[in-house]
Amino acid sequence: MSPDPKIMEEQTPILECRNLCISYDTRGGEIPAVIDFNMKVMPGQGVGIVGESGCGKSTVALAIMQYLGSNGYIKSGEIFFHGRDMRTMSEEELRALRGSKIAMIYQEPMASLNPSMKIGDQLAEVPLFHEDVTVTEAKARALELLEAVKLPDPKRIMDAYPHQISGGQQQRVVIAMALLSKPDLLLLDEPTTALDVTVERGIVELVKEISAEFGTAMIYISHNLGLILDTCDRVTVMYSGEAVEDGTVNEVFDEMCHPYTSGLFASIPLPGADKNERPLVPIPGQLPLPHQRPQGCFFGPRCAFFKAGTCDQEKIPMRAVPGEEGHTVRCARFEEIDWAEGDHEAVTVKSVKSGKVVLEVRNMKKYYELRSSSVLAMIRGDAVKTVKANEDINFNAREAETVAIVGESGCGKSTFAKVLMGLEEATDGAVILNGEDLAHVSVQKRKARTVGHLQMVFQNPFDTLNPSHSVGSQIARVIRKFGVEKDPNKVREKVNDLLDLVKLPRDFAHRRPRQLSGGQKQRIGIARAFAGNPAVVVADEPVSALDVSVQAAVTGLLTEIQNDLRSTLLFISHDLSVVRYLSDRVVVMYLGHIVEQGTTDEVFSPPYHPYTEALLSAVPIADTSVEQKQIILKGDIPSAVNPPPGCPFQTRCPRKIGSICETEMPPVKELSSGHNILCHLEDDVLNAMEPVIVTHSEEKIA
């Protein structure tokens, strides 16, 4: 590119959306998905769009690509690309732009690649159809880009089919595809949501590096505020189809003016504040459905600063914040809001004194036998492979204590939960609940009371309830099954009590699961788990599938009930921010091993296990005053079927000392009473570790 047009471009934005309205036609009539949306992207700039599911952020991206499906259409407004309205372009002109000037990176890399076409061919198509090149040149370009996105062995990947490489690698291929023709604008739609945190970190760094190198402008769509902070210059916050606040990242993150933005930040746990100083404050209510949006401000019904007569009349326009050029907000009252007066109930986590040991896991092992049915394997005699899903699990949990189990996919946390619940038998070791060893007792053989004492809250709210039965009957079934009550009237009473407990109206008993929102379903899931006065509740990522603003409320509810009933909570999660906020003790798992455990403070401050250190560095944090050490793990998590020899983490460990890591399983090192790590590192190295997360404002060690 010659310098002249570059200067020209400095004045005109690459992309501009003006008063954009997008609607979908459905049987129920027109549904406005995006209303009055404005955005400007300057060359080289990173612009974030953040919001919860259904807010219209992905629709904006697809509208820019002019790919809204058969029932979606741009109702009014313009989209200018380099000053030309894209709506007036012909199909052929659009085709020439797509993939060459504007490229897109998608949420699910696996689904986005053609399963029956070699990766090399899929990549080569881009230059072949946008530039005048031969097939050989196109292939050479593709190979070059695969190298640029740091894929190992790019030649092999050129010849591979998408299913033959891992999710992280697939996403790198999609990125390479998007960058092949050096686009002016890159659209990223939740590009890392489907990936593990440590893999996500690598992708995000790559995107940042490459956009800096190529000078590509970016629109980064995400529900994760931390990722936006990490990648963007400007950010637009969307709520229910509208932009509610727009400005530079610092303006929006530090001087937010819209109650929704402020609510979002208040409902995510940040490392800068702990549960006592800055408790989580959930946003009450739920996102309105498009055809149920209220008059006036869409956020009105959930807003602590709602004022009848002002907020529920006319449509609220975007207004500039005085003194901050380019910072706009869609709130009628933002100048007059006294932020201190908001009266939403905070999530209080009382410091409860933990009691006696309730659950004791000793040397628990769970191996699976994986039978290969291929004749060849039978001939070679390796038809049965052992998968070591859990290796030597040791820990205790006390009454009223919250123990977090942290790890990424394949770490063995789900297997552990299955053994605990009696759906799988442990291969070896003991799982002792209130003095009774359950390691080899399947759930069918456990006493009803024991089963009721050990219950679970599940991850996916859309799956947790049986869609064929009413909510009440499902809770009632649990009550009867655990022998809490038998008499029909008493059962009904108990159902009502449990609905009260999870703060849902009693007439929800008659509803079908599909009439409930995700958060409400998860509350029913909690009610069901607590029906038998459990001693231990296992919560498997209970909020990870929920929207940010609902997460805090559900988490709060869960811990509140747990505190009141003095149950032990095993909180399985990959989200270190939530873990840090909630738990008393933390167990970090990697490939079936516990690599570190200790109290929350011990685990979150040095010395760390190198994996914990990397995990802490990988978690995106939505706080401008926080600085994170950069540790990028290379590669992907190995498969549990073929674990590396020696230390399980050695293939990715940035602190690997040498051959000892590859050959010998590290010892369990006791750093202080109850704080153990599984590592070969010498004490002096461990002691010299620096904190990963540093908060600038107070210089507080995280």
Write out the binding residues for another protein, residues 351-410 only, by CB under 8 A: 374-376
Nearer to another protein by Cβ, of 365 and 480: the residue is 480
Binding positions for another protein, 483-502, rule CB under 8 A: 488, 491-492, 495
Q: Interior CA angle at 203 toward 197 and 208, to 5°?
A: 125
Nearer to another protein by Cβ, of 339 and 462: the residue is 462
Question: Least Å distance between CB 646 and another protein?
Answer: 28
For residues 23 and 74, what is the distance between their CA atoms, to the nearest angstrom? 6
Q: Which of 15, 65, 219, 554 binds another protein (CB under 8 A)?
A: 65
Question: Is 516 a residue that touches another protein (CB under 8 A)?
Answer: no
For residues 590 and 389, what is the distance between their CA atoms, to the nearest angstrom? 10
Binding positions for another protein, 67-86, rule CB under 8 A: 67, 70
Question: Least Å distance between CB 341 and another protein?
Answer: 41
Question: Least Å distance between CB 371 and another protein?
Answer: 12
Other C-beta atoms within 10 Å of 508: how many?
21
Binding positions for another protein, 159-198, rule CB under 8 A: 161, 163-164, 174, 177
For residues 260 and 278, what is the distance between their CA atoms, to the nearest angstrom? 18
For residues 318 and 332, what is the distance between their CA atoms, to the nearest angstrom? 9
For residues 268 and 592, what is the distance between their CA atoms, to the nearest angstrom? 29
Question: Least Å distance between CB 77 and another protein?
Answer: 21
Tell me, residue by residue from 84 to 123, as one string, x for binding to another protein by CB under 8 A and - for no binding: -------x---xxxxxx--xx-x-x--xxxxxxx------
Nearer to another protein by Cβ, of 165 and 264: the residue is 165
For residues 624 and 408, what is the distance between their CA atoms, to the nearest angstrom? 26
Tell me, residue by residue from 232 to 271, as one string, x for binding to another protein by CB under 8 A and - for no binding: ----------------------------------------
Question: Least Å distance between CB 486 and another protein?
Answer: 12
Q: Which of 86, 235, 509, 677 binds another protein (CB under 8 A)?
A: 509
- Give how far Cα 625 sits from Cα of 47, 272, 327, 606, 699, Å: 20, 8, 20, 20, 10
Q: What six digits make up the tokens of 92?
A: 């052929």
Closest CA to 454 of 470, 437, 466, 471: 437
Question: Least Å distance between CB 447 and another protein?
Answer: 9
Question: Least Å distance between CB 702 and another protein?
Answer: 34
Binding positions for another protein, 310-349, rule CB under 8 A: none
Can you spell out the DSSP letters for 495-556? HHHHHHHTT--GGGGGS-GGGS-HHHHHHHHHHHHTTT--SEEEEESTTTTS-HHHHHHHHH
Q: Interior CA angle at 605 toward 602 and 611, to 5°?
A: 95
Binding positions for another protein, 118-157, rule CB under 8 A: 125-126, 129-130
Question: Least Å distance between CB 94 and another protein?
Answer: 8
Q: Which of 12, 286, 409, 460 binds another protein (CB under 8 A)?
A: 460
Question: Is 477 a residue that touches another protein (CB under 8 A)?
Answer: yes
Closest CA to 632 of 610, 609, 657: 610
Nearer to another protein by Cβ, of 484 and 668: the residue is 484
Q: Which of 132, 467, 658, 684 binds another protein (CB under 8 A)?
A: 467
- Give how far Cα 385 sits from Cα of 4, 376, 377, 410, 644, Å: 63, 14, 10, 17, 15
